[in-house]
């Protein structure tokens, strides 16, 4: 198989920084979505459940599709790349 030098692998601090950055991005997106959802859109049905599932769907798209094609903000800021062997 293909082997990489140990220094080429992201260490624990870089991985934790990626988690903190991506969680912050999702938190900011959630706050912006909440402002739009509750202040600008008319209320229809149960707004809490609809808001929650919309935020879950956006988080899924960010963490799965954006990460696989472009890389999340955390990966881009730390310079870490995901390599499939």
Nearest-angstrom CA–CA distance, 33 and 30: 5
pLDDT band, very low/low/confident/very high, at 43 (cuts 50, 70, 90): low
| Reported pTM | 0.80
In 10 A of CB 72, how many CB atoms?
A: 19
Q: Please indicate whether residue 4 or residue 20 has the higher confidence score (pLDDT).
A: 20
Contact between 51 and 33 under an 8 Å Cβ cutoff? The reply is: yes
Please give the average per-residue pLDDT across 27-56, as a whole number: 82
pLDDT band, very low/low/confident/very high, at 14 (cuts 50, 70, 90): very high
Contact between 76 and 66 under an 8 Å Cβ cutoff? The reply is: no
């Amino acid at each position: 198989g293909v082997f990489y030098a140990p220094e080429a692998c992201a260490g624990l601090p870089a991985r934790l920084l990626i988690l903190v950055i991506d969680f912050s991005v999702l938190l900011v997106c959630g706050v912006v979505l909440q402002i739009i959802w509750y202040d600008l859109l008319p209320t229809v049905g149960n707004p809490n459940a609809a808001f929650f599932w919309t935020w879950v769907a956006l988080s899924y798209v960010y963490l799965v599709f954006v990460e696989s094609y472009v890389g999340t903000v955390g990966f881009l800021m730390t310079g870490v790349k995901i390599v499939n062997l």
